Chain A
Amino acid sequence: MNSTYDILNIFIPSVILLITIAVHTVLSLLKNNINYYKISKWISFSGLILSLISVFDVQFEPIYFAFSDAIVSNTYTIFIQSVILVSAIICVLLTKKIIASRRNNAFTFHIIFLSAVLASMILVSVNDYLTMFISMELLSIACFFLISFNKGYISKEASLKYIFTNIIASSVFLLGVSYLYGITSSVNFSEINEFYMQHTAEWMYTISILFIASGLLFKLAVFPFANWILDIYEGSSTSVAAFLSVIPKVAVLGLLCRLLVFNFSYSFEFPLILLIFASITAIWSNLIAIRQRNIKRLLAASSSANASYMLFAASLVSVYNISTVIFYLITYVLMNLGVFSAVILLENSAFSNKLYEFKNFAYTNPLFCFAFLVSLLGLAGIPLTSGFIAKIYLLSAIAKSGLIFMPFLLVLVIAMVIAMFYYVRIAKLMFEKDETKDEKFVIYKTESASIILYLCAIFTIIIGIIPDKIIEICKIIAYNI
């Protein structure tokens, strides 16, 4: 009886996604569904839109605990969930190519895709380690299938790599949870909080939360589990790579911020360890990105670097820092999806992912080049784009945290200089003239990726010029975490 109320109160968006998954399942069993495979995208699209609308009906004020404290709902989780849904809507619109190449499995693809979205939505709002483990595993398994959906050997290798690394991360995570359970005899966030209100934390607590965090850091591709990311982005299809670079990251960072504020906050050493991990990742991924000649591998390293920047601010917990993380997350989603949709447009016009293919674009496709340039320069952090404001805001958060974090600030700044190099190099390649080829690629009128590219570019500029409203919202959200 109680759980019915819970479902009605906070679970409607997830239920709508579940219904959409069911519709896909039924359709995938029908005969001859290959003839109308194109509907699958629009079914997912409408399901996600409905889910996004129903998010605003969810009870979040005051905080609502559902399913005997397993799920929590407040302003923060609702906001992160809507960010996830918006990016999922964008990602669905980018899936044209992969669906067209696997027509007989189109509905299956969308089942897996929506399961991943559902898992990340639940992951944001979990309130005990068991639910967290289940939703994380659901996310990982869905990602595993999504990666292997591409044709060819390289994709299978990538998916196997992903699942093996994931198994190690998950087992480390479970080990940490078991330690924590051993100390506190509970897996519930609130109960563990209450336990540590009364007891002082020992070194075992630090070790257990370190193990737990490692499971989350795997999804972010931060240091202990960072090396999977390049091969996996290269192996998976570009739409899936766009998905991987956005949705699991938003979900995991959203959860990590909550954990850092409440459950992980009783250890003094833990933020420092996270900062060291983040510094290593920032330097490593930016250095490795310089050597990449394939744009997908480069974006993989860049997404890992961006996650580490956010981890810098998130690990020094304060309301101001969390608000900067949320703002960075929003701008990062917009810029990254802009870049990925540009890459998808190139792929659809039979260009390869190699960087040298980008020559001449400034002269043959000026409008496309401009939008692509805005997204890239946003990632690099050039003024007038949202990336610049986000970087300044993030850096100011770390500067405000205290003088002893100056070395980390320095590392972050150096990493950003290195990052500038490879983003601007791509921009420069587009302005380079290559006399041997003058092919002009055609953007089809119906291509939804091009609309997304232009929208992302426009929003990147608008947020870069007038970020006031969004910063206000971020502050409110962070205050209500």
Chain B
Amino acid sequence: MEYLSLNLLIFSPLIIAILFFLPIFNTKEVFIRRFTKTFMGVHFVYALCFWIFYNPDVNFFDELFLFGQSGVQSLGIRSAFAIDGLSLVMVTLTSFLFFMSAISSKTIIRHRQKLYYGLLLLLETSVLGVFTSSDIFIFFCFWELELIPMYFLISLWGSGRAQKSAMKFLLYTFFGSLFLLLGILLLSYYSDTLNFQMSSLFADINVVDKLPINIQILISILLMIGFFVKLPIIPLHTWLPNAHCDAPAPISILLAGLLLKMGAYGFIRFNILLLPDAFKILAPFLIVFAVINIIHAGLCAYNQDDIKKIIAYSSISNMGIVLLGLCTNNEEGVTGGIVHMVSHGLICAGLFMIVGIIYNRTKTRDIKAISGLGTVMPNLMGFTVMFSFAAIGVPLLIGFVGEFLTFWGAFSVQYDSYIFLPTVIIFAIFVLVISAAYMFKFVHRIFFGSIDNSWAILKDLTAHEFIVLSSILSVIVFFGINPMSLIDVINPIVEVIVESAGI
């Protein structure tokens, strides 16, 4: 265990990115692409090593020392990183999806490759930093840092009104993250320091115990606004469809697969584990928000004509399921929420990849203009059908595990003083119908029916695309058949959550 360095895992992409930005580095496109792919492959294997050697009793912990000191001592900040079950799952997912994204970039990114891959690696470091940092301030640093590469990746390589969407994304997230900052500062006001060692905080929560409950609720709401912009929850979601639509396909994969999960991760870390008392009070209301999210975004997805927007709204709907699961406060629900985070990350990545492939071939995203692609692209059709099965929760695929556990937890939820909750949760079950409706509308309109002459010359999947789709699908099937391998890893943290926030 000692020979696995967490610092190396987090900061190696940053070092490679700096190497890319140096003027002496080779500028040949093919070399840069292959170098990035190789590096990310090695990085994924390294992350898998953490999974293999993971032991729930011993957490990985590491501290970054720069010039003999870690972080800013005078403000009580330590640049410390730690991995527990939840972080481990997210880190491995991050490494995997970045690997996939780098492979699928070949046909889509046609210019300025050096800058593109450099920013991609920078983004990887910041996402990994968010998922592993065990100091709140360092968490916030990485949370902010992730915006800049993402902004440039959307605005420079996107299509349509990419610059406008990128700016919208940036401002929304920055706005949310400043509420997050307000919450963190308020915490610092009550604990007299900026030192927030997360691990020490939920080992003995004496800092938070001192807080009066109404202050805890205020802080909790402020933090929540920050996370719900990212998640996104309905009144704060309008950046997402635009950003997803106009981003290039590999970036859409990362946006849907990882950046939304950052919101859910922060929600678990701060709102549930750090401020459990406030969370217990707020959870019933959050369930209502979650149900509105699920149904409203699902109906929106059904009414879209833009194929990327269908997937974008479906991911909003799915994040509602995650929130519903996390707010149930029982073991099944929380496990379901976390598993659904992973499953949605994988499924949505696959679906955005497919949409990207279709857009790349047909140059249109209008669902009315495309029909009958199944005759010329049978492989793609096969993958799409499999991914849509996973998205609507067909058993033996991972989507089923998350949704089933979530609804199981949601129906056994016990908030005695809120008798309206079971009625509300009943509505959430309609998502099964709605998701089937929009997914099959998507599959049916695009792949079936008579084919237009202009689409008859389209080529089927290339080797790169086939590898990406089949590897994502194989992970989906693996965890669908064998969900316990995932649940066992996250079980310790689920127990902590249920113990601290449960009723």
A residues sitting closer than 8 Å to B (CB atoms) are 362, 366-367, 370, 377, 382-384, 388-389, 392-393, 395-396, 398-400, 402-403, 406, 409-410, 413-414, 416-417, 420-421, 424-425, 428, 431, 465-468, 471-472, 475
Contacts and interface: CB of A to CB of B under 8 A. Distances in A.
B75 A393 contact: yes
B174 interface: yes
Contact of A395 (B74, B181, B215): B181
Given A382-B148, A396-B185, A466-B67, 11 more contacts: A370-B21, A382-B144, A382-B145, A388-B144, A395-B181, A399-B182, A403-B215, A413-B179, A414-B175, A421-B167, A431-B115
B185 A395 contact: yes
A428 to B, nearest CB: 6
A420 B151 CA distance: 12
A383 B156 CA distance: 22
Question: Interface residues of B: mostly helix, strand, loop or mixed?
Answer: helix
Interface in B97-155: 115, 137, 141-142, 144-145, 148, 151-152, 155
For A388, A393, A466, A472, which residue has the most chain B Cβ atoms within 10 angstroms?
Answer: A466
B52 interface: no
B188 interface: yes
A392 B144 CA distance: 12
Interface in B187-231: 188-189, 194, 215
B72 A389 contact: yes
A327 to B, nearest CB: 10
A93 to B, nearest CB: 26
B188 A396 contact: yes
Interface residues of B, number: 36
Given A409-B185, A428-B152, A416 B144 contact: no
Contacts of A410: 182
> Nearest 9 A-B pairs (CB), nearest first?
A399-B185, A413-B178, A383-B141, A471-B74, A383-B145, A399-B189, A383-B144, A417-B175, A400-B189
Contacts of A414: 175, 178
A409 B182 contact: yes
12 contacts: A367-B23, A384-B145, A395-B181, A396-B194, A399-B188, A417-B174, A417-B175, A424-B167, A431-B152, A431-B156, A467-B72, A468-B69
Contacts of A400: 188-189
B248 to A, nearest CB: 15
Contacts of A465: 66
Contacts of A392: 137, 181
Nearest to A391: B181
A366 B25 CA distance: 14
A471 B182 contact: no
Nearest to A469: B74
Contacts of B4: none
Given A366-B23, A468-B73, A468-B74, A428 B163 contact: yes
Question: Interface residues of A: mostly helix, strand, loop or mixed?
Answer: helix
A384 B141 CA distance: 8
Contacts of B215: 403
A388 B72 contact: no
B155 A417 contact: no
B392 interface: no
A258 to B, nearest CB: 23
Contact of B178 (A362, A366, A417): A417
A406 B75 CA distance: 21
A294 B331 CA distance: 58
Given A396-B188, A466-B67, A468-B73, A413 B171 contact: no
A475 B74 contact: yes
B218 to A, nearest CB: 9
A393 B76 CA distance: 12
Contact of B170 (A398, A420, A431): A420
Contacts of A416: 178
Contacts of B178: 413-414, 416-417
Contacts of A367: 23
A370 B115 CA distance: 13
Contacts of A431: 115, 152, 156
Contacts of B182: 399, 406, 409-410, 413
Nearest to B177: A417
Contacts of A389: 72
